[in-house]
Amino acid sequence: MHDTAISLIELGAVFFGLGILGRLAWKIGISPIPLYLLGGVAFGTGGLIPLHGIQPFTHIASEIGVVLLLLLLGLEYSAGELVTGLRRSWVAGLIDIVLNAAPGALVALALGWGPIGALAMAGVTYISSSGIVAKVLGDLGRLGNRETPVILSILVFEDLAMAVYLPILTALLAGVSFIGGLTAVGVSLLVITVVLVIALRFGKYVSAIVDSPDPEVFLLRLLGAALLVAGLASELQVSAAVGSFLLGIAISGSTAQNATRMLEPLRDLFAAVFFVVFGLNTDPELIPPVLPIALGLAVLTVVTKVLTGWIAARMQGVARMGRLRAGAALVARGEFSIVIAGLAVSSGAVNGQMAALSTAYVLLMAILGPVAARVVEPLARAVLTRRTQAA
């Protein structure tokens, strides 16, 4: 059988299987993300039937999935709302760093991985998955909730922190001089500043450039602009997620509404591929040896993320239930954590066991995140009801 035929058969089976898993997820009342991840693990490296013919497509498709997830998230908010949210949430952002980076660093030091290993693991446990959080908020219909701007402020703060963190980590892993690391950080911050200024002052012109009365032309312009901005941001040491999010907030008015309506089906398709690819790249044989450490780290950082969301939402006057939802929404880790671990291990500067631990940890958190976001509210209401009845 020809390679093209094999690729088409495997890709068709993956999409059809995703449809079945998605239907099952909604039938039992959970987000489909955990099932997508587990499906990827089952048919990825070391799985039941490894799928190798679709890798070239799924790799770029998963990147597009993250871009679209964050683009549509950005379309929900204006540049002014973003700046206001960052101004109000920077203290919570610093608390987020302390509470969630410390567990990873301490585990790395306890395992004898040294300062660089500690810095890498701190990044793994610190940053929430923007892609998973965006998908969960959309799936649960919470984009208009009072706590959602708080969640987005934390996510953006984390992504901006990554613009500083990643160049420093990369420089240390490569043995680059301190001046070289500072230069990389400066470029990242400059790019973010320029994009924010464009979004704030010239957003209407950005909307006019991508807008078109013809749906086909509009879709091509919009998707092309999103991929261009994401690619350029990534090349300049700023995450593609930040780039696509900032483009989204620069588009406003009826253009943003039309863009959301047109891109939602594409987002759902490519986002599903992103979660499957994460599972496909996970070798289940590597997980058992590090599972106890990963479980302990997962339990600890679930608590610290929920506490982060609670504190951040409380600072904005959100009610208790909204604080819990904010904390639970931030639990999931994902794409950034794997990138950080990959950079560290591939450099040879840290213990190779970090890849297995990071994979097990992120897989646990990527599953726990959507589940926690789904059950936190009904669980909290049930506890309050019992307390009321007991009183």
**Structure token digits, residue 273:** 């591929």
Please name the residue that has the structure tokens 């043995």: 175
**Structure token digits, residue 278:** 């994460």
Q: How far is CA 159 from CA 114, 129, 173, 226, in A?
A: 25, 10, 20, 17
Phi first, then psi, for residue 89 (nearest 5°) are: -110, 10
Against a cut of 0.85, is the pTM above it? no
Architecture of the domain made up of 3-390? Up-down Bundle (1.20)
Instruction: Give, for all 391 residues of the chain, the pLDDT tens digit.
Output: 556 777 777 778 878 888 888 888 777 766 677 777 777 777 766 556 666 656 677 778 878 887 887 788 777 766 666 677 667 778 888 999 999 999 999 999 998 888 888 988 999 999 898 777 877 887 788 877 888 888 888 887 887 777 677 767 777 776 666 566 667 667 666 766 776 677 667 777 778 888 888 888 888 998 898 888 888 877 766 667 667 877 887 787 778 788 888 888 888 888 788 777 777 766 777 778 888 999 999 999 999 999 999 999 998 888 888 888 999 999 988 767 877 777 677 667 676 677 778 878 888 888 888 888 888 877 777 776 776 666 6
Contact call for residues 331 and 373 (beta carbons, < 8 A) = yes
Dmax (CA) for the chain in angstroms is 70
* DSSP letters spanning 9-29: HHHHHHHHHHHHHHHHHHHHT
Which of the 8 DSSP states describes residue 358? Answer: H
- pLDDT 10s digits, 154-187: 887 887 777 677 767 777 776 666 566 667 667 6
- How far apart (Å, rounded) are the C-alpha atoms in residues 58 and 270? 9
Contact call for residues 362 and 123 (beta carbons, < 8 A) = no
* DSSP letters spanning 179-217: HHHHHHHHHHHHHHHHHHHHHHHSHHHHHHHH--SSHHH
Q: Which residues of 174-187 are buried (b: 16+ CB within 10 A; e: fewer)?
A: eeeeeeebeebbee
Question: Where are the domains positioned within the chain?
Answer: 3-390
**Structure token digits, residue 211:** 């807008």
